Structure 1
Amino acid sequence: MSKVCTDASVANAVMDTIKVDVLIIGAGAAGLMCAAKAGARGRSVMVVDHANKVGKKILMSGGGRCNFTNMYTEPNNFLSDNEHFCKSALSRYTQWDFIELVSKHEIPYHEKKLGQLFCDNKASDIVHMLLKECEEAGAQVETRCTVHEISVNKDMGEQGSRYRVSTSLGEIDCQSLVVATGGLSIPTMGATGFGYDIAQQFELTLKPRTAALVPFTLSKAMLERLSVLSGSSIDISVSCNNTVFRENLLFTHRGLSGPAILQISSYWKPGDEVFINLLPDIDVDQWLYQKQQERPKAELKTIVSEKMTKQMAQVLTDWWCPSVPMNQLSTKKLKSFAEQLSHWMLIPAGIEGYRTAEVTLGGVDTDELSSKTMEVKKQKGLFFIGEVVDVTGHLGGFNFQWAWASAAAAAEFV
């Protein structure tokens, strides 16, 4: 999609003008859900997207099986400058509502862990479900459609078209305009900042945006030290800025990844310290002391390899403590090593960026929107839903649930 033009007087249409009640820009999770719900209310709805197919992020999510919601969805699973904003939409369209929709379409699914629900077969089941709902509701979905300009019909009455949108399909007049364009994450899937351009056209405040749910990069020196561990994973506890997650860590050739790291990345800012407990299930200090008594002649790396891979144990002992027989280690050295294992402090060099990020943190300031309707407070008939808004979920199906909930909220009022 090209950049939005400034509000201007409406030009004469070259082609016949398409007139609908609701025009939705973006045929992703939020856009398709909003279209289906609004259409079911009897509204005439059209969805346009610049991509060649709908729901691209749905299709690639969850390893191709789409982690479509989480059974334990609560407002505290979301980040926003206004922590209360998401409550209204989430309470009115819950995870159980979406699960009911999935069941209605007889899509088999399973819980992987921690309430994360995935399709048994493939993510396209969810896309087909949404398209079926749109079809039944009479909502028209158009791909390969570029939006050129959005202007306001200032002279139209209350029941007239408020907006004229110039597109590659022609001029489209609508009463309600819904922006469901997503964020900046994974540009190879077609992500752009178009939704933010629209927000700026209407002089809405934008919160700073950054890649979130994204791997950390490490310094060259640390990468060299950890390079042999690329591909290895371990269950850890990670904390940053008073937030803690318990999940797997994955060592990569660029740094650290895995669910635990993706989760904590949303809370990290450049220069912040990250603390990792490599053995979160035990009191490491007490465990090493006990092993020293029980197996005094065993080497330290041998003992540590009981809790992680041999290669990982080798790398960490080489780094933090000489791997000598346990009876040769002083209490001070053993305590120091235990502290490293349970409280490894590092400062990431950075994050991998939007190329691999699951979502975009920040976006349209929630103070600009009604939490009940998702409508812009100062611009009647203009709505923002999904990832483009400053509401970002944790990893595990929460961002999809925000898409469904915010879309359903807007659909009641468009």
Structure 2
Amino acid sequence: MLVDKQYDAIIVGGGACGLMCAVQAGMRGRHTLVLERNDRPGAKILISGGGRCNYTNLHTSAANFVSANPAFADQVFARWTVADTVAFFEQQGIIGKEKKLGQLFPVSDSAKDVVRAFARLIQRHGQALNLNSQVLSVARTPDGMFEVSYEHEGKLKQAKAKAVVIASGGLPVAKLGASDFALRTARQFGLDIVPVAPALVPLAITGKNAEWFASLSGNSVFCRVANERISFEENILFTHWGLSGPAILQISSYWRPGETIAIDLLPHFSIERLIKDEREAGGRRLVSQVLGNFYSRRLVEAFGRFLPIDTKIASLGKTDSKRIAETIHRFVVRPAGDKGYDKAEVMRGGVAVDELNPQTLEAKKVAGLYFGGECVDMTGWLGGYNFQWAWASGYVIAQAI
């Protein structure tokens, strides 16, 4: 077995957290080895935001995260702020532009620029980056060091370090090398795991309503989507298997199997008010014509399954008016499930934050063992929040190793 030289830290995972950790450690004169399973670093960075990389959100706070203890995030963000992220990338020639809702993208609209910046910094600070390296195990040695065994280009190798950083991500997306390595390692060392599930994921509709949703595939509507815990206002997208789009991805992190979600299909208007105004104007228009001011013809026609769309407004009774309002403002859906890890943006749950020191992200039970990024129970909303957590956790760990 080939044995590498000793490092200050071995970082498992060359994604957002791992790359930031290696760079920041290098700035402090530490020598790290990054072990990345893929044939290139930053695989998920490259596909994020449709290849444009929504690398932070200007409004980031603990309120934008799902966790058993979301307030934990504020302690990490106090040490690496959004302003720090913006300044860091500006120093690398990456200027941000806000698209909407605080979402910041590179002016170039290229995620490749982000990965290239890290590649340059890794090289500049003399950090070792081994691609095509699948980590097999992490073990504590009698002298208090860590020994990491991994396979690199068909050869079994080992490396030793005073610290190990687990930044290997979560279970989405298998084709990008996703695995449960971080969870297995945490369990190996006796750390608690918050149950995991796909998050920021489309929701599937089956049963008697499946055909109705499928018939609307491709239709996008601005809505308010809510459950008992939270609501989001953004577009939903009808698909041939159910619902997707930003609002659905957001609510999915708060949805649990068996629950319903309520969709307000016209959140900034009152359909009752619109019907009343039409009545006062004579009520000669059809219900379909009123709805046509807001929706595609295909969606209006689909409403015919539930509503009297071919009835004149003047002829609507109280029961029909109430049914229209209930359908438009409270369209209740009970998803059959989510579309799984391969369609999910991130994983919900992970290594319990109460197991980690908020100042360092070191495991309280195991000196020298750190966890950062997606494998930790800190799941951000859609829109750059998860990247901000990745950069911040990578920075905080780098200050301690």
TM bin, normalised by shorter chain, reads over 0.9
**Residue 236 of structure 1, aligned match among 223, 230, 249:** 223
Q: Are 2:66 and 1:79 aligned?
A: yes
SS of the equivalent of 2:304 reads helix
Partner of residue 191, structure 2: 204
Residue correspondences, number: 396
SS of the equivalent of 2:370 reads strand
Give the Cα–Cα distance (whole angstroms) in 2 for the partners of residues 124 and 295 of structure 1: 58
Partner of residue 150, structure 2: 167
What is the CA distance between 1:73 and its match in structure 2?
A: 0.7
Partner of residue 308, structure 1: 295
Partner of residue 404, structure 1: 391
Q: Are 2:49 and 1:66 aligned?
A: no
Partner of residue 287, structure 1: 274
State the Cα deviation string for residues 101-155 of structure 1 (Å, max 9, x = none): 1111212432110010112331011111112222222211110112223221123
SS of the equivalent of 1:362 reads strand
State the Cα deviation string for residues 35-59 of structure 1 (Å, max 9, x = none): 0001111111110011111101000
Output the TM-score relative to the length of structure 1: 0.93
Q: Is the 8 A contact 1:22 1:44 kept in 2?
A: yes
Output the TM-score relative to the length of structure 2: 0.96
Partner of residue 246, structure 2: 259
State the Cα deviation string for residues 212-264 of structure 1 (Å, max 9, x = none): 00011002321211323110101000101220100001000110000000000
SS of the equivalent of 1:99 reads helix
**Residue 360 of structure 1, aligned match among 347, 352, 356:** 347
What is the CA distance between 1:294 and its match in structure 2?
A: 1.7
Amino acid at match of 1:26: G
What is the CA distance between 1:272 and its match in structure 2?
A: 0.8
Equivalent positions of 1:2-401 (< 5 A) are 14-121=1-108, 122-156=110-144, 162-169=145-152, 170-401=157-388
Unpaired runs of 5+ residues, structure 1, are 1-13, 157-161
Give the Cα–Cα distance (whole angstroms) in 1 for the partners of residues 282 and 122 of structure 2: 67
Q: Is the 8 A contact 2:303 2:309 kept in 1?
A: no
Partner of residue 4, structure 1: none
What is the CA distance between 1:324 and its match in structure 2?
A: 1.2
Q: Is the 8 A contact 2:205 2:213 kept in 1?
A: no
Give the Cα–Cα distance (whole angstroms) in 2 for the partners of residues 332 and 142 of structure 1: 67
Give the Cα–Cα distance (whole angstroms) in 2 for the partners of residues 297 and 305 of structure 1: 15
Give the Cα–Cα distance (whole angstroms) in 2 for the partners of residues 207 and 223 of structure 1: 32
Query: Alpha carbon RMSD of aligned pairs, Å?
Result: 1.3
Q: Is the 8 A contact 1:241 1:268 kept in 2?
A: no
Amino acid at match of 1:164: E
Q: Is the 8 A contact 1:21 1:45 kept in 2?
A: yes
Give the Cα–Cα distance (whole angstroms) in 2 for the partners of residues 22 and 309 of structure 1: 56
